[in-house]
């Protein structure tokens, strides 16, 4: 029934119209100068279509599901703070459960998918992605935090333009144009001091992807070489229901070789014990 509904909607919009809408938004709409309300209206115009005097949305996402019989592991990197000292084995910024999770509200700046003071947990499927995202340099010490899923997860996603066989070639081409618009917004480079550019991706995430039925949202790794791999975002309430923290490693980024861009040396394993992180030789 839903497929037939979208087929009817796609009949009533041309590829040229979709391209024109996206080009207008990219060339004329400024996230810096518009209020969130007006910016949201401009985003809605891209997906909106009128049929039989009623307005509908052409947004059509395909969620993915983890396999119930498999474990999935996720990674997050935290850099050493100025109060951490590897030589003296002082790990001041990694002491308790909160240090393994999201940034505290008082320290939370605007991000790709979060508002100031409204933290989420950003994680990656591969440790290498997490290292790239933190923009570490050779010689830097860091914490590598590891999580596993507690249950099967439903994940909203924009990293994969899934071809849907219930739609024909033209319908899938139209879906791909909308998908590429979203993908560009979630992979946009945002220089320091221009965080207002995140307003668009935040509004799209909140209004189109974030629902009570979704456990996480995934999008392409921005900083990874060739932009391979995926990042995930979980709201704080979803973290407790979906993830278990396995531990944290104290590591150092080292020079690579002919087969690797970089290497990692691991020195200590940390585990949460009675709300305190204790470290042991690796």
The low-confidence residues of the chain, meaning pLDDT below 70, are 1, 224-228
Residues 36-70 have pLDDT tens digits of 999 999 999 999 999 889 999 999 888 999 999 99
**For 19-35, b where at least 16 C-beta lie within 10 A, e where not — what string?**
eebbeebeeebebeebe
Domain boundaries, the chain: 2-60+154-209, 65-153+215-281
The model's pLDDT over 15-27, given as tens digits with 9 standing for 90+, comes to: 999 999 999 999 9
Reported pTM: 0.91
Extract the tokens encoding 61: 């996402």
What pLDDT is attached to residue 62? 86
Tell me 85's DSSP state.
Answer: B
Q: In angstroms, rounded to a whole number, what is the distance separating the alpha carbons of residues 193 and 30?
A: 16
Per-residue pLDDT tens over the stretch 159-170: 888 889 999 999
Is residue 65 classed exposed, middle or buried when 0-12, 13-18 and 19+ CB atoms within 10 A define those classes?
A: exposed
pLDDT of residue 261: 84
pLDDT value for 208: 93
């Amino acid at each position: 029934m839903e497929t037939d509904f979208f087929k009817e909607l796609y009949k009533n919009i041309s590829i040229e119209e979709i391209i024109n809408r996206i080009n207008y938004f990219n060339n004329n709409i400024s996230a810096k100068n518009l209020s969130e309300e007006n910016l949201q209206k401009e985003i809605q115009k891209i997906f909106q279509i009128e049929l039989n005097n009623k307005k509908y949305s052409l947004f059509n996402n395909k969620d993915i599901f983890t396999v119930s019989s498999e474990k999935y592991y996720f990674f997050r990197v935290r850099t050493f703070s100025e109060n951490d000292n590897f030589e003296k084995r002082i790990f001041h910024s990694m002491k308790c459960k909160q240090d393994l999770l999201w940034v505290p509200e008082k320290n939370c700046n605007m991000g790709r998918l979060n508002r100031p003071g409204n933290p989420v947990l950003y994680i990656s499927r591969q440790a290498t992605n997490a290292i790239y995202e933190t923009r570490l340099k050779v010689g830097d010490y860091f914490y590598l935090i590891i999580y596993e899923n507690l249950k099967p997860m439903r994940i909203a996603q924009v990293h994969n333009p899934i071809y849907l066989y219930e739609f024909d070639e033209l319908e899938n081409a139209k879906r791909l144009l909308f998908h590429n618009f979203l993908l560009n917004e979630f992979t946009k480079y945002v220089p320091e001091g221009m965080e207002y550019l995140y307003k668009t991706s935040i509004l799209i995430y909140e209004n189109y992807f974030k629902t009570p039925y979704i456990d996480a949202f995934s999008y392409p790794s921005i900083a990874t070489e060739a932009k391979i791999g995926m990042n995930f975002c979980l709201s704080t309430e979803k973290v407790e229901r979906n993830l278990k923290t396995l531990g944290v490693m104290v590591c150092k980024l080292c020079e690579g070789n002919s087969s690797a861009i970089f290497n990692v040396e691991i020195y200590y394993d940390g585990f949460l014990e009675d709300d305190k992180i204790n470290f042991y030789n690796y």
